[in-house]
Amino acid sequence: MSRVLVLNSGSSSVKYRLFDGTETVAKGLVERIGESGGEVADHRAALQGIMDEIDLTGLAAAGHRVVHGGAEFTGPTVITDEVVARVEALVPLAPLHNPAALTGIEVARKLLPDVPQVAVFDTAFHATIPPEGVTWAISRELAERWQIRRYGFHGTSHAYVSRRTAQVLGRDPAQTNVITLHLGNGASACAVEGGRSVATSMGMSPLPGLVMGTRSGDIDPTVIFHLHRVAGLPLDEIETSLTRHGGLQGMAGVNDLRAVLDLRAAGDPDATLAFDVYCRRIREYVGSYLAVLGRVDAIAFTAGVGENSAAVRAASLSGLEPLGIVIDPERNERRDEVISPPGARIPVCVIPTDEELEIADQSRTALSLDR
């Protein structure tokens, strides 16, 4: 059994989890890095603190979550100076996300010089989407020059959950088609055909697709031109409005789905509409991916909302009974692994995601280590 340390470095936080095989032997979160009154001054201090705290004996690898791998990183990748340079070159594609991961990688390589390190990309699982699923109908020249295409995110979660779904249903993942719905603070849908992603709802960035806590999800791009030209808003402000003040936050004034549900229960019309928009968007993607896959063997809900909200699960799949998609209300409330009735044509599942475990596994795969 090899020990693997998984590090998820954000701009002001570092999440870590130490695995021995599949077992978690230590985990934690350092927050508010570099902020006044925060716990630590910088990422170096944060990682040093983590390493002082945990027992690193027998550490075989460190696995880093990296959000954007562009078109070139299609799987977990052993980190070298050259890989760091290539991830740096991708910063323009993910200016909010990749710099933090790079800082984490740089510090961890210095602090653990003898431990091999692996980058696991959120985008990599979607490298199997065929060209027609990642290409937007714009000038080819512009698209190629500026790397404009769909990349997709939440890949480790969609990979893990689709595989677990097949296992829960007693099926071979390589022969199972699953629609996975990762509904957390960020949210995305994925069509998985025999273990390979063939469609996903996020794009060049994590902004499009489903409605999220603070991100708008899909909108007509003309909205941006209109807000700029007619409303006179600067581009930065429009970006903030769509990424941080959109989604549930924008429609209902709160970003946490629990708060939306409370307001809706109290009769708040904005929260009621926000819930309806949220669930309808999920239904639209499920319908789209039924058409992409042709044969669907399961639908799986995961992440904070997907795992916990029976109301969202019920509302987002309601009316799909003629397609063989049915939810049993009692199983749904109990949050069973399978929430459809026995014998349902398309089983519906609730599968807790575990992105860190998947990163640890993929890190071992990249280094040919035993689990």
- List, by residue number, the catalytic residues: 122
Closer Cβ to ligand AMP, 104 or 186, answer by number: 186
DSSP state of 320: -
| CA separation, residue 16 to residues 35, 304, 327, 367 (Å) | 20, 19, 36, 20
Q: Which of 54/159 has CB closer to ligand AMP? A: 159
**Closest CB to ligand AMP among residues 69, 213:** 213
Count of residues in contact with ligand AMP, rule CB under 6 A: 11
Q: Is the dihedral of CA 37, 15, 209, 96 positive or negative?
A: positive
Chosen residue from 257, 274, 349, 351 binding ligand AMP by CB under 6 A: 257
156 makes contact with ligand AMP (CB under 6 A): no
CB under 6 A: which stretch of 31-39, 85-93, 190-198, 256-264 binds ligand AMP?
256-264
- Interaction pattern, residues 159-178, with ligand AMP; x per rule: CB under 6 A: --------------------
**Gap between the Cα atoms of 173 and 125, Å rounded:** 15
End-to-end CA distance of the chain: 6
Q: How far is the CB of 312 from ligand AMP (least distance, A)?
A: 7
Other CB atoms within 10 Å distance of the CB of residue 226: 13
Nearer to ligand AMP, 195 or 213 (CB): 213
Residue (73 or 275) nearer to ligand AMP, CB: 275
Residue 63 is labelled as binding a ligand: no
x-marked contacts with ligand AMP along 215-234 as a string, rule CB under 6 A:
--------------------
**Residue 129 or 274 having the CB closest to ligand AMP:** 274
Tell whether residue 213 is among the known ligand binding residues: no
Residue numbers 294-313 binding ligand AMP by CB under 6 A? 303-305, 308-309
CA distance 277 to 282: 9
Q: What are the CA-CA distances from residue 211 to residues 167, 256, 276 (Å)?
A: 29, 12, 11
Interface segment toward ligand AMP; rule CB under 6 A; list 85-93, 132-140, 172-180, 254-262: 254-262
- By CB under 6 A, tell whether 256 contacts ligand AMP: yes
Measured CA to CA, the distance from residue 97 to residue 66 in angstroms comes to 8
Binder of ligand AMP out of 258, 280, 334, 371 (CB under 6 A) = 258
Tell whether 332 is in a known binding site. no
CB of 249 to ligand AMP, least distance (A): 10
Nearest to 35 by CA among 60, 6, 13, 7: 13
Query: According to the annotation, is 97 in a ligand binding site?
Result: no
Between 20 and 256, name the residue whose CB sits nearer to ligand AMP: 256
Per the CB < 8 A criterion, the answer to whether 14 and 46 are in contact is: yes
Report the nearest approach of ligand AMP to the CB of residue 44 (Å). 27
Closest CB 161 distance from ligand AMP, rounded Å: 12
Rounded Cα distance between 251 and 361, Å, is 39
Whole-angstrom distance, CA of residue 222 vs CA of residue 173: 41
- Measure the CA angle with vertex 178, ends 172 and 182; round to 5°: 125
Per DSSP (E only), the strands in the chain are 3-9, 14-20, 23-30, 59-66, 77-78, 117-121, 177-183, 187-193, 196-200, 298-302, 348-350
3-state SS class at 23: strand
Dist CA 124 CA 155 (whole Å) = 6
177 is in an annotated binding site: no
Q: Rule CB under 6 A: is residue 184 a binding residue for ligand AMP?
A: yes
| Per-residue H/E/C for 226-256 | HHHHCCCCCHHHHHHHHHCCCHHHHHHCCCC
Report the interface residues with ligand AMP, using CB under 6 A.
Answer: 184-185, 213, 256-258, 303-305, 308-309
Task: Give the residue ranges of the annotated binding site for Mg(2+).
Answer: 8, 355
Task: Give the residue ranges of the annotated binding site.
Answer: 8, 15, 65, 182-186, 256-258, 304-308, 355
